[in-house]
Amino acid sequence: MPTYFETLAELCEKLGTTKKRSLMIKLVADFLKRLEPLEVEPAVSMILGRSFPRGSSLKLDVSWATISEIIKRLTNADWNLFLSIFKRTGDLGSAVKEFLEKSRTYRQKVLLENPLTIIEVRRRFEAIAEASGQGSRDKKERLLEALLSIASPLEAKYIVKILIGEMRTGFHEGLMERAVSEAFQMPLADVQRACMALGDIAIVASKARLDGIASLSGVGVQVFRPIKPMLAQVVDNVAEAIREHGGKTALEYKLDGARVQIHKRGDEVKIFSRQLTEVTESLPDIVEYVRGNIHVGEAIFEGEVIAVDYRGRPMPFQHLMRRFKRIHDVNVMVNEIPVKLFLFDLLYLDGRDLCSTPYVQRRSLLAKLVDVENLTPQIITGSAQEAESFLMSAINSGHEGLVAKRLDSPYMPGVRGKHWLKIKLTLEPLDLVIVAAEYGYGKRHKWLSDYYLAARDEETGDFLVVGKTFKGLTDAEIEEMTRKLKELTIKEEHRRVIVIPKMVVQVAYNEIQKSPKYKSGLALRFARITSIREDKTVEEVDTIQKIKEIYEKQFLKKGIYDIR
C-alpha cells in the first residue's frame, strides 16, 4: 500500500520537537521499515530536505518569490497576516502551515482532493524540474500551484521546506545513517562505507531495502559515480601539522580554486564539483586536456581548477565561478577566463579502488600519469623551517596556504579529520550565509549592498548573525547579488529585507569580538566578503561553535570574556 506524504510530514513534525537523538533514530527507522521499496529513496531525501538525491541533474529552480505568489493566489488572504506569523515563528514552513489553516478558501479546496503519496510528490517534483524551453517558467509555476492546491496545510509546510532546502528538524545525515542501519539490520560501518562510495545515504537506503546487506558489502568506487570529497581540519602552523603527523608530512599548495573530481573511461570524461554536480559542459578545455594527455583506460582523479591571468598567475575565486555557471557560449568564456588544472589525488585506476591505499603511493601513481606542471606542488618534510619556506612560496605565488597530508593516510570520502590539515598565514576565512540585507546609499541606493552574515548553530540548526558588511563585492557583483536576494526575500522592513538563507559567501575579518548586539554573542571585526561561494551549500557554512573556538584561541595570551 502506498505511503501518504502526510505520514512523512507527521514524522518530520515529531522530529522537530524531539531532542533525544536515540528516539529520533528509532522514529525514522520504524518509518523506513514500513515503506515500499520504491518509496525509500524519495522519503530519505525528503526527510533530509532534498527534492532529489544528491548529485541528481534535476533541479527544481523555483524561487521563494514564486512560491509566495502561488500561496497568495490560493488563499486570497491578507499577506500581512503571513508576515506577522513568520515574525512570530521565524520559520517559513511553519508560517505557511498556519497561514493556510486560517484560509477558509484553501481548507475547502483541500477537503475535496485525494491524499498525496510520497511517490506522487516526487513525480510532481520531477515534472517541475523537467519543464524547460520557452514558457518553462510559467509551466513550473502551474505545476507547483497544482501540487500546493491539493496539499493539506501540514503537507504544504514540508513541501515548502523541501523546495527551499530548509528542513531544520535537527535530523541530519549522520543520524539517518544510524536509522538506516537500524531499520534494515545492517552494521553501521557497512552503511557508512557504502555512503562514502555512493555519495548519498538515500541511495544507500534504497539499495539496502531492495537487495539487503549483500548489496552494500560489494559497494565500492565506480567510474562516473562521484564520491564525497575528503576534507581537512585547520591547524595554526606548520609545526603543529608536522607534530600531528608523527614528525613528517606531505605538504601541498592550497589553491584558491574549485575542487573537482574527474572521471575517465577511454575518451569519455566527466567532471563533478565538490557538491557532486556534473560540470563537464562548463570546462571543455579541461576535458580536452584529460583526453589528450592522461593515457589510462579508467581512472578517477581529484584536483583543483583555478582561473589564471595571461601570465598564468591565479585570479580571484569569483572569476572561476563565472566559468562554472556558464552553460551557453562556453567557448567565449574559455577565452575570457582561462583555467588551469592541478591534480593532487588518484582514487581509482583501471579496476582498482585506491581509497585504502596510503597517500604517498596514490601520489606516486598519479605522478606517473600527469605532467608535472599539472600536479599540485608538493614537498615531504619533517623540518618546520623547510615547511615555513614552502608556505611562503605558496603565498608569494598567489595561493592560500598549504594542506598537510599524513603519509600513510587512506582517502576517506566525506570525512573531515586530522589525516589532512589546512595551514594559512592569516585568520581562517569563514563561510557564512546571508540572512538579511539592506539597501545602500548614494550610487548604491537601488542595490542590496549591506549584508547580515550568519553562522549555523550545530545544536539547533538555526542561523545566528555574527556581523554585517558592505565591503568586498564589485558593483557588478552587488547588482547580481541584489537580483538573487530579491528572489529569496521573505519580508521587507523599510530598507531591509529578510531572505531565505541560501547565498553562501567567504568572509575575511581581523578579529572576533564579544557583542551584546547579536544573539550569537559574537561579532566579526572589519568583515569583508572575499568571494561568493556558489560551490557550497548552507549545510557547509561554518558553525557558531567553531567561531567561539577561534575567539578563545585569539585571546590565549590576552584577557577573555566569558561568552557562554
Residues with catalytic annotation? 254
Strand 463-469, strand 448-456: pairing = antiparallel
Q: Report residue 342 as a C-alpha cell.
A: 592541478
- State the residue for C-alpha cell 515563528: 89
Cβ partners under 8 Å of residue 562, min gap 6: none
CA 520 to CA 526: how far, in whole Å?
17
Q: Is the dihedral of CA 220, 409, 192, 53 positive or negative?
A: negative
Beta bridge partner(s), residue 454: 433, 465
> Residue 432 has which C-alpha cell?
557564512
Identify which of 183, 267, 178, 161 has the alpha carbon closest to the alpha carbon of residue 223: 267
Do 260 and 272 touch, CB atoms closer than 8 A?
yes
Residue 524: Cβ-neighbour burial (10 angstroms; 0-12, 13-18, 19+)? buried
Tell me how far apart the alpha carbons of residues 427 and 417 are, in angstroms, rounded to a whole number: 20
CA-closest candidate to residue 8, choices 42, 58, 59, 37: 42
Q: What is the 3-state secondary structure (H, E, C) of 68-130?
A: HHHHHHHHCCCHHHHHHHHHHHCCHHHHHHHHHHCCHHHHHHHHCCCCCEHHHHHHHHHHHHH
Written as nine digits, the cell of 527 is 568583515
DSSP-derived secondary structure for 423-479: EESSPPPEEEEEEEEEE-SGGGTTSEEEEEEEEE-TTT--EEEEEEE--S--HHHHH
| Under 8 Å between Cβ of 46 and 450 | no
Q: What's the one-letter identity of residue 350?
A: D
CB atoms < 10 A from the CB of 562, how many? 6
Single-letter code of the amino acid located at 304 = E
